[in-house]
Structure 1
């Protein structure tokens, strides 16, 4: 074998992700609102791009979309036909873990779907407009943080060196209103006596909201009881034994507090009226309504699906401006840059059009597979995986996963994340067709909601679910119950005892 250097020619195939292809794939995983922000940046960067207002004929919750389900929606804007001959690669590419990351566990082969329901399920609560109706102004964020609110009060109640100590203490109060640092550590750090730090903290604990500056839950509730002039020895002993309150041990509480049943019930009702997290009313972000990316409505001839055009502005290529710039005198570098901008603009418009086509195609298959849910509710939700949808529309699982990420669908039954429709299967106890885990969760929630005074144990729930045709184990029932935020039978029985106290 020769060890001398030489030159060899080899021919091989490899998958190369161009910047344009990477951009198109990223667009798939973005919601409409995120795409809007992305387009704003692109328009600022590329002088040949301009945004036109969204069409005013977008679908709403109260009107039916005009277009039925179809594999290919309306054709792209005629502007695309005048674009350059830039290569248009398919967005459906099978990338391995080495060349492309996974957006979610569902990307893995055979991965179970994720439960992303918003919990709306079509049930809308009527907002009262009378005197007893909710005060919607109280939901508005004032923009004032808890720290700023406390500092403003400290500026009027404390002065001198104590104000510096108060500012340091306030800086150690978390968003829930609790002091998270040790007073001894603060005193050592500031070089002041511990008693002085305690005096300043006592002043801070008189600020609004009541209970702020507490070091634990018991102290927080005690501060609120003192403010309400309800902190007598019996209430003090009740607050000192919150663990017994949580367990519902009324017998021991009556003995420790030395009260009868009526007084104990009154004290527990008083305790429930206190706020365990007084600081949370300040500095929180305002509640943001989820904007749907898709609308689904029942039509006489099938189902209608539309992209929410109200949140997705149209992007056009200003060719007249390109002609004007290209006809002007300039060096080769300027003309090359202008050509790159035109190619980038054309590719972006095509990528957006292909993104909409792909989303419509995936959503149409989801509606087809889960038609029972849209007609009859969650009880008819079928087991569904990314692979089933991908095989039906001849795309890769990773493409379907990116399409269903961060996107919401609005229908007559409510607002749902597209991931909600992908659930694992539960076999039927009668050997019939498998049902989805979401349908089993709905059945568990309904059974517990109607249990009344007779609390159902997990074993009883298993028997009732088996009678309904669900072949499910006790540990699975416990897992689903905990996922729904429902306590065990013991916890529910203690809560029921406290309610009746």
Structure 2
């Protein structure tokens, strides 16, 4: 055995994810709004990238060279997997295309000159569909911009609290959540501020007199008690009822009547009074504005089938400024500057190419979803079929992971509403009569319909199983209970108690 040094030559294969490949994979999982933010960051970093106006349909020859100089013709566009696995970012193939040219894919109505834009079920017009352009409605303007709960309480504290107590009041108000409850123990606040607990309690009692009534409570019982005192209904009977809300939740009215010393009529009156109180008084004030979900894909019924379109209104038009590149490359450059400029051009070309392929891939996946779930779009959720990522991936000849990324964080707008793409992928429930399997969403819809129509005859889970079997759903009792809980519907015992309380009230 020789111990002398020597040189060995070995050959091996490995898969290396280039930065461009990682970027293309990341783009697939982003929603249109997230892509818009990503593009804005790239424009700041790359001087050769610029955003064109969405309504600018004029020629771009002054900024960009003709398309034919930079593109290699091919019969079919590259698939997403081909782009991810075989893309080359070092070449100068550019997709900074002229959107009015016939060489760009005109696969939707809004891509054609004079064509009306497709907006699914949103009822918007033209190119403003779902995008919030200058002529389209701004849905954010409908959001509640009223005074926040904290500002409302601080305004009331100013005239009645002063000196060091105002500092304590401001800290307490800051600990009140959006529902109006104080979420931090008073002892912890007293230790944090270095003041006596009795002083903090006194300031809290002052805050609890503010509007809305019940604000500053530490639990539901205290919130209801404050509102009962404000309405001058906080007598000993009401106090015992509020102190035993757990019995009320269980529907133990007989025990409550004995504890409160009232008859059926008085108990019904007290329960009716409690129902008139607000358990979340802070929610009537403006909090964080609700963010509207913007659809990434529009689906609309056409005479000859279905129209599927990317919501281009949320994506800026990205261009590679080749005239600027020519200007920079024509001057005196050192080796480092020349390499940097080449990298910027390759990065810009790759990004435009990846964005275009992203749109093609999303449309391709959405088209297959509509094809396999056509019965849902025509007749509703009861006709939703079980479908997996693998089924779609095999149908469009892509990898399952690619379909998973495409369907993440993306929403489809259709005549039946706005749905996340993941909604259409559900597990299968076998049919009891040996027919085709049905979707779990269809079973949930049937459970909701049965419970909604049960009236005073409460249906147990066993009864639901029998009724579902009669409808052709082969389902176990534990599965019914799981789906019922997922729908936020209580058990038969809880629903029976709720009916009893409604009758008592």
Contact 2:122 2:413 in 1 (8 A): no
Match of 1:319 among 311, 319, 322: 322
> 2:17 matched to 1:17?
yes
> 2:166 matched to 1:163?
yes
> 2:386 matched to 1:397?
no
Shift of the alpha carbon at 1:5? 2.4
Match of 2:229 in 1: 226
Structure 2's unaligned 5+ residue stretches are 58-63, 85-120, 124-138
Shift of the alpha carbon at 1:18? 0.9
**In structure 2, distance between residues paired with 1:454 and 1:79:** 73
**In structure 2, distance between residues paired with 1:253 and 1:153:** 38
Shift of the alpha carbon at 1:373? 0.8
Q: TM-score normalized by structure 2?
A: 0.82
> 2:81 matched to 1:92?
yes
Shift of the alpha carbon at 1:375? 1.2
Contact 2:176 2:182 in 1 (8 A): yes
Shift of the alpha carbon at 1:145? 4.2
Match of 2:153 among 150, 153, 156: 150
> 2:204 matched to 1:215?
no
Q: How does 1:9-158 map to 2 (within 5 A)?
A: 9-55=9-55, 82-83=69-70, 91-92=80-81, 140-142=143-145, 144-158=147-161
**In structure 1, distance between residues paired with 2:267 and 2:45:** 68
Tell me the SS of whatever aligns to 2:81.
coil
Contact 1:428 1:435 in 2 (8 A): yes
Match of 1:354 in 2: 357
Inter-CA distance 188–363: structure 2 relative to 1 (3 Å threshold): closer
Match of 2:247 in 1: 244
Shift of the alpha carbon at 1:192? 3.4
CA RMSD of aligned residues (A): 2.8
Greater shift, 178-187 or 385-394, is seen at: 178-187
Match of 1:474 among 473, 477, 480: 477
**In structure 2, distance between residues paired with 1:250 and 1:228:** 23
Contact 1:372 1:381 in 2 (8 A): yes
- Summarize deviations over 1:191-235 as a string: whole Å, max 9, x none: 433322221111111122221221211001111122222222222
Greater shift, 428-437 or 263-272, is seen at: 263-272
Shift of the alpha carbon at 1:437? 0.5
> 2:447 matched to 1:458?
no
Inter-CA distance 303–500: structure 2 relative to 1 (3 Å threshold): same
> 2:290 matched to 1:287?
yes
> 2:368 matched to 1:365?
yes
Tell me the SS of whatever aligns to 1:92.
helix
Match of 2:436 in 1: 433
Shift of the alpha carbon at 1:440? 0.4
Match of 1:3 in 2: 3
Structure 1's unaligned 5+ residue stretches are 58-76, 96-121, 125-135
**In structure 2, distance between residues paired with 1:279 and 1:484:** 26
**In structure 1, distance between residues paired with 2:372 and 2:396:** 12
- Summarize deviations over 1:75-125 as a string: whole Å, max 9, x none: xx996654489xx99643899xxxxxxxxxxxxxxxxxxxxxxxxxx899x
Inter-CA distance 2–208: structure 2 relative to 1 (3 Å threshold): farther
Contact 2:80 2:398 in 1 (8 A): no
Contact 2:79 2:361 in 1 (8 A): no
Shift of the alpha carbon at 1:410? 0.9
- Summarize deviations over 1:394-453 as a string: whole Å, max 9, x none: 111110000000111111111110000000000111111111101100000011111111
Tell me the SS of whatever aligns to 1:37.
helix
Contact 1:205 1:212 in 2 (8 A): yes
> 2:348 matched to 1:345?
yes
Match of 1:264 in 2: 267
- Summarize deviations over 1:144-181 as a string: whole Å, max 9, x none: 54334333332321112222322333333333322233
Greater shift, 284-293 or 247-256, is seen at: 247-256
Count, aligned residues = 444
- Summarize deviations over 1:304-325 as a string: whole Å, max 9, x none: 1111111112111111122222
**In structure 2, distance between residues paired with 1:21 and 1:84:** 20
Greater shift, 213-222 or 167-176, is seen at: 167-176
**In structure 2, distance between residues paired with 1:78 and 1:397:** 38
Inter-CA distance 192–384: structure 2 relative to 1 (3 Å threshold): same
**In structure 2, distance between residues paired with 1:477 and 1:319:** 62
Match of 2:256 among 253, 258, 270: 253
